């Protein structure tokens, strides 16, 4: 049985994360992955959905080393992390580049739910004159983000903060805000609206089973009305499949 799985790491050491169907043989799946991918030193299985305040997957070790810390490489950047303590999706590499290329010179950018820093660092690398503030509630992720900022040489352009994204407005006002927590980001829209400058852009990620994302658009307009601000949806896009007939999507919201 060939199951889809994510590989996080590099050519020397990687970790594979797989979602096991009930009828599968965990030992056989792990053995197959490690035989086909010699760089995979550990195979982890998802043991439940992302949950809790830190929004990380529960993972169980199927085979290999208990040390699951790796250095992941993408687009010339390096990210040290342990997927057992920090959420990271290698599938979003192209999306991170897409957003990074949208950032204009000298913009002030906020990344909510910043994790170990992939969005923030990608932006700083793509637009050297931008200033990026990255806020994350998971202490383990912030520890790795500090290290990754140094590892990628962007210490003068990215500041990391341990904190709740609801408090983002304390970091000032921003030209652009990224909200990459698709299951729950819409609940943080009031904080984003308070932190966004007039004429700024908010990139909101969400989950939708609607071709036109009507459910998510409705939540955006409700939050804007509650905050007493005017907005328009400047763009929308399917980013990745999430489940059957359901997608991870992005809305680009312009404040007026």
CATH number of the domain encompassing residue 39: 3.30.300.110
Percent of the chain with pLDDT over 70: 99
**Domain-located, residue 75:** no
* Domains: count for the chain: 2
**Domain-located, residue 24:** yes
**Domain-located, residue 186:** yes
Pairing of strands 174-179, 108-111: parallel
Same domain? 59 vs 103: no
**Span 63-84, mean pLDDT?**
97
pLDDT for 2 equals 66
Residue with tokens 């040390």: 67
Residue with tokens 């910043």: 114
Percent of the chain with pLDDT over 90: 88
Q: What span, in angstroms and rounded, lies between the C-alpha atoms of 122 and 73?
A: 12
DSSP of 70-88, one letter per residue? EEEEETTEEEEE-TTTS--
pLDDT for 75 beyond 60: yes
Same domain? 54 vs 102: no
The Cβ of residue 221 has, within 10 Å, a number of other Cβ atoms equal to 13
DSSP of 208-231, one letter per residue? E-STT-HHHHHHHHHHHHHHT--E
Same domain? 154 vs 196: yes
**Span 193-197, mean pLDDT?**
98
**Domain-located, residue 85:** no
**Domain-located, residue 78:** no
Same domain? 20 vs 131: no
pTM of this structure: 0.95
**Span 182-188, mean pLDDT?**
95
Same domain? 31 vs 146: no
Q: Print the domain residue range for 171.
A: 90-255
Same domain? 178 vs 121: yes
Same domain? 165 vs 60: no
**Domain-located, residue 82:** no
pLDDT for 181 equals 95
**Domain-located, residue 77:** no
Same domain? 155 vs 33: no
Same domain? 48 vs 118: no
Structure tokens at 231: 């907005």
pLDDT for 243 equals 83
**Domain-located, residue 114:** yes
Same domain? 228 vs 109: yes
Cα dihedral 16→152→185→196 (10° resolution): -170
Report the CATH number at residue 231: 3.40.50.150
Same domain? 42 vs 110: no
Same domain? 105 vs 13: no
Cα dihedral 72→240→57→27 (10° resolution): -80
Which helix (H) or strand (E) segment holds residue 102: the answer is helix 93-102
pLDDT for 198 beyond 90: yes
Cβ-contact 65, 39 below 8 angstroms: no
């Amino acid at each position: 049985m060939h199951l889809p799985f994510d590989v996080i790491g590099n050519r020397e050491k990687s970790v594979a994360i797989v979602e096991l169907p009930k009828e599968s043989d965990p030992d056989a799946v792990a053995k197959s992955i490690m035989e086909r991918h010699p760089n995979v030193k550990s195979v982890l299985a998802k043991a439940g959905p992302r949950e809790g305040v830190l929004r990380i997957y529960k993972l169980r070790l199927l085979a290999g080393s208990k040390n699951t810390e790796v250095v992941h490489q993408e687009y010339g950047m390096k990210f040290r992390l342990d997927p057992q303590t920090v959420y990271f999706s290698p599938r979003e590499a192209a999306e991170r580049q897409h957003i990074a290329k949208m950032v204009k010179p000298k913009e002030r950018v906020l990344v909510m739910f910043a994790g170990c820093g992939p969005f923030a660092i990608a932006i700083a690398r793509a637009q050297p004159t931008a200033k990026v503030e990255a806020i994350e509630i998971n202490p383990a992720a912030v520890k790795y983000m500090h290290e990754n900022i140094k590892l990628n040489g962007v210490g003068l352009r990215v500041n990391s903060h341990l904190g709740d994204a609801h408090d983002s407005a304390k970091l000032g006002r921003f030209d652009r805000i990224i909200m990459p927590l698709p299951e729950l980001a819409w609940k943080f829209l009031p904080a984003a609206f308070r932190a966004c400058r007039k004429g700024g852009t908010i990139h909101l990620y969400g989950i939708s089973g609607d071709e036109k994302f009507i459910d998510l658009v409705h939540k955006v307009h409700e939050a804007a009305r509650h905050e007493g601000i005017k907005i328009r949806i400047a763009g929308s896009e399917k980013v990745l499949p999430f489940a059957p007939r359901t997608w991870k999507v992005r809305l680009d919201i312009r404040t007026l």
